[in-house]
Structure 1
Amino acid sequence: MKLNAALAQASAAWDGDMDEDKVMEHFRRKVAPMMPGHLEGDFWTDILPRMSRTEPAFRQAMAAIATLMPGMAENTTEDGNAQEVDPYTRVLSVLGATRKQKTGVDHQTPASHKSASISTHPFNVLPAIADSPASSSSASLPSTSRSSTTPTPFISPRPAEDESDSDARVNSEVNVTLSGCLLFVTVEFLQEGLGAAMEQLAFGIDVLNNVEHNDLAETTIVDVIPKFERLSIIQMCFYDRPCYPSLDLSRGNAPKHYLGPFDKNSSIYRPQCAMDSIILDAMKFMRASGPDSRTDSRLRGPQLTEEQTAICSAFDKWHSAFMAFIRQPRSSTDNPLPPHTDIICLETEMKYWAAKICVSVCQSHDESVYDSYKNEFRRMVAIAQEIASRCPILPPESPLYRFNYEMSYLALMEFVITKCRWLELRYHAWLIVWELAAAQQPVTLGDLHLVGRRMIEIEHNANIEEVSRENASWFSLPAEEMRVRDYTTDHRFADLRAAGEVDEAKAPGTYTQRLLLRCGSYELDELARWVARDISSK
């Protein structure tokens, strides 16, 4: 079989002069915690290291990833815990430096030449960009103050006698192949960029589309499939190509989405990540809805199709299950919720409302359709104000909790400012953004504070000085022809920087599709920001 042959070719004997055990321990202790999905499960910190014992190709890929991330040791304390250095920023700089080298050349370690051989072998099953080392860690997500449930860094992977893995499917060909896919895609992205990783990912999607659900191990269903779902979302937004395979899993009798109840002993990030599969379905639906299927909501109001209703219902059930997970009583022996869980819940609720609006309006071609969602926008603004009131902007060196406004918060505020024409809500949202931009430690997203001001003045035909919280409700809704459909392409905003990180021509899809990237898990959010930064730098 082709997969067997590819895996065998990739599984060459270790021929570097670095101690293999030390490389694996280095990966587990210092590289795995940099992976974006390491807090939602044990895939990077335990499952892959155990699989690597019998799969030389895995060991080579893990070594290659480690060598593509030079300089990490200087930013890590002796106990293996990351210092207050943002891994997201650090790895982006490493990524840029790495690609300036010749392919496969890294003088940091003798094992580095493995990265070249791995990137060229025919094992076209690739890993997840979403799971590439550059994404999250507890330090890279200050807005969540996430604490890892990963075993302490100096503890080795579970011994062989513990990995009998009651599920014999764990080490089956397809499960090993899919896990290897996530490793090798990571290597491709770090070394060659998005295109190479996405082309390799296509083969992994084909494997998943042609396997029976019952043939997948529980670890694959829980830890691997969500990573493929996130990568598929990234592919649709950043690497849209004709005939690219769509992830279409055969789930047998299993539900299409896991909507709870969630185990209270799991990390808070696992139930949060369950939203990503719904976002993937929403993205597919939006892409399938061509211009010919859109109507004018002013004729009879927004009419949801059966599929739109089903997706919105899935969002509702997921959010209810997520909040039930938060409210479950916990004893001293249960896995505790992270600090600032209430802030995590508030930001998650903002994403939930934004995602539902995006799905609900995608069949209408007019801007007036957003007027039907006043209550949803009102709730988003109220949440935004509560977060801003409770989370002051602090300098980077502060030991206190710092909320990261730049992850999703400002993108969601851009949505309210540009699409909500109820001026009392729009003006309130703009005030929040303006105050953040005017703070001693300013926080901005492009020129959003200036974009919002100009948009209010254009659409409501009023100087911003004439508007206040007290009189904003007196202004009527602007006529459809007065509304700015897309300020990034409107000449009246040409002198202002767009809030998005990527040139519109490089990011396929509509604005609402791209906004959905900010409505999912922290892993999806950081992955989207990372890929966007990589694309915009070219």
Structure 2
Amino acid sequence: MVGESRDAMDPPKEEKLVIRKRTRATGPRVKTGCLTCKSRHLKCDERRPTCFRCERGGLNCAGYGYSLTPKSILGSSSPYSVTHIPSPLRDHEALLPKESRAIEYFHVKVAPHLAGHFHQRFWTEGVLQMSARHVAVRHALISLSTMFETDLLRHSLQDVPKEKEQYALETFNAAIRDLLTMLHDPTTVYVPLAVCIIFVCLDSMRMNSKAVVKHVEGGIMLLNMWFRHQQRRLPLQPSLTASDKTLMEEVLIPIFTWLGMMATTFGRPGLVLDPGLTQPISDGPAPAMESLEQAISVFMRDVTEVFGFSAAMAEMKFQSTVDDKIIAQHERLQGAVHNWKVDFDRMVSKKWSTWTPSSMLSIGMVNAIHLSIRYWLEGCAAPTESIWDDYKSVYEEILGLVEDVVQSTRMVPEHRVRSFHFEMGYIPPLQFVLWRCRYPQIRRKALRILRDLPRQECLFDSKQIAVLYAQVISLEEESLGIPLGETPSDDQLPPESSRIHRIDFPPLPPTSRGRPVNFLSRPNGLDGGWHVRSQYLGLKEMEFLRWFDMKSGTI
């Protein structure tokens, strides 16, 4: 102490050494904050609807709870109740370390990526909640998380440990075994449906189209069986809770609606939901749009009928007369698509101050999809392909919207290496422009965007579609006599006689040359029958692509 001295040679007196622990002032532990900041062990500023820390870091803010609906409509026994469902991140103590790591990786990395523009609630909330209670969902989620990580490593040109791939397969098989015990319980129908969706992602990443179609077929059959069971259900029999009905109506049914349309494209026609499922299952009038996901849910009901109408018109439009009922249905559908857009624009305007930059990109994507559906519906009843030449400004608007979203997405480094996406977003509008637009410059711009987009949306692969429509352009422009390698001027459109009306993928197995494709045109006019040009689309390691002529003839 100050004022005392001691000779340096004197032995020190025995003193008791006291080590005081360093302490810091703490208040009550904060249990609020967004789920993303919690999982990263960071302090959250708790700004709503998304926190500033996540927005500044370019992360997807996972929100402030797992509830799919307001607390007022959640029953205490609901598997989606905030009080009933523990956070999967808190339940990690009961799991093996690699299981816990896979679930946390899914929460932080995989779920925000798969959620995309339109499926936030399913991937960032619903499937995580279900994984906390149902082992089938948990195993499927772990398998997808592990597969997604190996896919990321592969695209980053890194070595993929064999044990990771093996673990993904093991948990995939475990999910199948777990699922078999739940298929006949109507009160937990959402569990096998969620597992089906996860399986669709897994086999889409493997490019196993047959398995994907089987998963979609199983999910739609299960939904239809459940709906028929609900119609026959006695008053005292157990049923879904209010929150489960919301999950089914606003999340799962819209997802399986467009999955069914995808399955039709890949060789499973007629795979549709029961018409009753596309109507609200909840009692009372349909709620007003309050979110982008809810808007997409409503829109998909119209798109389902548009898709069916377009398929029916593929042959009917060549008949000399069209039934008045078909004309009335066409007008009604056009009115429904128009009214949806009016309601959507009203919601966007009403909530303008709440939209984040990410939300604005989503709104642009919705507008591009809407334009594609609206004008596809408008022109699909015309027998001639030249009708599509009237929509030049529409094609330009679609490309502008898609290009804005693509450019903004490229600013996020992770999006440049991750090619797999669950939702169908960019590819369908680009495909619409590539097929229906015959203006050379616009068409080639759409092709460039698609080629520069290393993206897979479920089974729709940007590389394959770019090659397919590059061939359509080549076949249609043959008659123009343009030297090889030169681009026609913008007023040089292919004649009606050389335009491709349909593209068919016959149910034939691939050969060593590739997958057979039929291109159908009407070179002799509407009464001259179909001319079929069959070719093989050769794919080697998804990089080297070549066309082989198979046959050509008139039917």
Shorter-chain TM-score bucket reads: 0.5 to 0.7
How far residue 207 of structure 1 moved from its aligned partner, in angstroms, is: 2.3
Classify 1:485/1:226 alpha carbon distance in 2 versus 1 (closer, same or farther; 3 Å). same
The alignment's TM-score, normalised by the length of structure 1, stands at 0.55
1:285 corresponds to 2:285: no
Give the AA of the match of 1:25. E
**Once the two structures are superposed, what CA deviation does each residue of 1:315-373 show, in whole Å capped at 9, x if it has no partner?**
21222222222222545xx4x242583x76565444434323333444444334446xx
Alignment check: 8 A CA contact 1:315 1:356 kept = yes
Match of 2:357 in 1: 338
Question: 1:45 offset after TM fit, Å?
Answer: 2.1
Q: Which residue of 2 aligns with 1:195?
A: 210
Select the structure that is richer in strand: 2
Q: Provide the C-alpha distance between the structure 1 equivalents of 2:125 and 2:408, rounded to a whole number of angstroms.
A: 35
Structure-1 residue corresponding to 2:197:
182
- Contact between 2:147 and 2:168, CA under 8 Å: does it hold in 1? no
Secondary structure of the corresponding residue to residue 69 of structure 1:
helix
In structure 1, the residue matched to 2:442 is 429
CA distance in structure 2 between the partners assigned to 1:111 and 1:429 by the alignment: 43
- AA matched with 2:196: C
Alignment of 1:289-308 (within 5 A): 289=313, 291=315, 293-295=316-318, 305-308=327-330
Is 1:352 matched up with 2:367? no
SS in 2 for 1:262: coil
What is residue 380 of structure 1 aligned with on the other side?
Answer: 394
1:156-182 deviation line (CA, Å, top 9, x unaligned): xxxxxxxxxxxxx9x932233433333
CA contact (8 A) 1:410 1:433 kept: yes
Within 1, Cα distance between the matches of 2:516 and 2:286?
Answer: 34
1:310 Cα shift?
A: 2.5
Q: Distance in 2 between matches of 1:385 and 1:200?
A: 33
Asked if the contact 2:279–2:301 (Cα under 8 Å) also holds between the matched residues in 1, the reply is no
Q: Which residue of 2 aligns with 1:163?
A: none
Match of 1:50 among 129, 134, 150: 129
RMSD over aligned CA atoms reads: 5.6
Give the structure 1 partner of residue 171 of structure 2. Answer: 114
What residue number does 1:148 align with?
A: none
Q: Note closer, same or farther for the CA distance 1:410–1:451 as it changes in structure 2 (3 Å cut).
A: same
Q: Give the match's secondary structure for 1:202.
A: helix
Q: What is the match of residue 247 of structure 1? A: 273
SS in 2 for 1:250: helix
Cα distance, 1:52 vs structure 2: 2.3
Q: 2:138 is aligned with what amino acid? A: R
CA distance in 2, matches of 1:275, 1:255: 16
CA contact (8 A) 2:289 2:295 kept: yes
Distance across 2 between alignment mates of 1:487 and 1:456:
16
Deviations 1:212-231 (A, max 9, x none): 38845212222211211121
Task: Determine which of 255, 276, 284 is the counterpart of 1:227.
Answer: 255
Instruction: Return the alpha-carbon distance in structure 2 between the equivalents of residues 487 and 253 of structure 1.
Output: 31
Which 5+ residue runs of structure 1 have no aligned equivalent? Answer: 1-13, 76-88, 127-168, 419-425, 490-501, 511-532
Q: Aligned residues: percent identity?
A: 16
**Which structure has the greater CA radius of gyration?**
2
CA pair 506-428 structure 1, distance change in 2 beyond 3 A: closer
Match in the other structure for 1:8: none
Taking structure 1 as reference, are residues 346 and 412 closer, same or farther at Cα in structure 2, changes over 3 Å only? Answer: farther
Match of 1:204 in 2: 219
Deviations 1:22-53 (CA, angstroms, capped at 9, x unpaired): 44333322332232458533222222222223
CA drift at 1:237 = 0.6
Task: Report if the CA contact (8 A) 1:414-1:448 is conserved.
Answer: yes
Which residue identity is paired with 1:380?
A: V
**1:415 partnered with 2:435:** yes
Can you give the 5+ residue segments of structure 2 that lack an aligned partner in the other structure?
1-92, 232-238, 420-424, 453-461, 505-513, 522-541, 547-555
The separation in 2 between residues aligned to 1:449 and 1:396, in whole angstroms, is: 24
Residues 21 and 289 (structure 1 numbering): CA distance in 2 closer, same or farther, change over 3 Å? same
- Please give the alpha-carbon distance, in whole angstroms, between the structure 2 residues aligned to 1:68 and 1:506: 34
What's the CA shift string for 1:198-223, capped at 9, x where partnerless? 22332321221132388452122222
The answer to whether structure 1 residue 505 and structure 2 residue 526 are counterparts is no
3-state SS, counterpart of residue 247 of structure 2: helix
Matched, 1:312 2:334: yes
Alignment equivalent of 1:261, drawn from 255, 270, 288: 288
Structure 2 residue matching 1:380: 3-state secondary structure: helix
**How many Å apart are 1:193 and its aligned residue?**
2.2
3-state SS of 1:325 partner: helix
Distance in 2 (CA, whole Å) between partners of 1:190 and 1:223 is 22
User: Hey, what's the Cα distance between the residues in 1 that align with 2:145 and 2:306?
Assistant: 35
Structure-2 separation of matches of 1:252 and 1:450: 37
2:371–2:394 contact (8 Å) kept in structure 1: yes
Residues 117-147 of structure 1: CA deviation (Å, up to 9, x unaligned): 4346773999xxxxxxxxxxxxxxxxxxxxx
Query: Could you tell me the TM-score, scaled by structure 2's length?
Result: 0.53
Q: How many positions carry a matched residue from both structures?
A: 390
Contact 1:417 1:429 (8 Å CA) reproduced? yes
Change (3 A) 1:325 1:484: same
SS in 2 for 1:357: helix
Q: Which residue of 2 aligns with 1:324?
A: 346
Q: Larger relative CO (CA 8 A, sep 6+): 1 or 2?
A: 1
Mapping 1:77-226, distance limit 5 Å: 90=155, 106-107=163-164, 113-119=170-176, 123=180, 172-190=187-205, 193-210=208-225, 211=227, 212=230, 215=240, 217-226=245-254
Give 3-state SS (helix, strand or coil) of 2:219's partner. helix
